[in-house]
């Protein structure tokens, strides 16, 4: 695996310090903890807690807005729905 450049690490660190990014991460972690408590997912099971209405589009981390899907299904949706997620655009 290639070594990550110092510039790339600095950029990622700056991105992760943004309050909006931190709030999204908190919501994602909260949804994951709820699913673990319910017993629908476990650590290392290859599943993701997906938000039916994405957090970026105003969705919540409530149980009614989450579902358990495979990592492949959850992380490959952008290719299937390019109109919903356009890289580089922000609100």
- Extended beta strands in the chain, E state: 47-51, 66-70
Of 14, 74, 10, the closest CA to residue 41 belongs to 74
C-alpha count within 13 angstroms, C-beta hemisphere, residue 11: 5
pTM: 0.69
User: Cβ(47)–Cβ(39) under 8 Å?
Assistant: no
pLDDT in tens, the chain (91 residues): 678 899 999 999 999 999 999 998 998 899 999 999 999 999 999 999 998 998 888 888 888 999 999 988 888 777 777 776 665 555 4
């Amino acid at each position: 695996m290639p070594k990550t450049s110092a510039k790339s690490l600095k950029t990622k660190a700056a991105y992760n310090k943004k309050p909006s990014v931190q709030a999204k991460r908190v919501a994602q972690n909260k949804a994951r903890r709820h699913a673990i408590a319910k017993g629908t997912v476990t650590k290392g099971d290859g599943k993701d807690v997906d938000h039916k209405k994405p957090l970026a589009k105003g969705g919540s981390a409530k149980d009614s807005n989450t579902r358990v899907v495979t990592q492949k299904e959850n992380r490959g949706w952008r290719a299937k729905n390019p109109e919903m997620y356009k890289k580089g655009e922000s609100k």
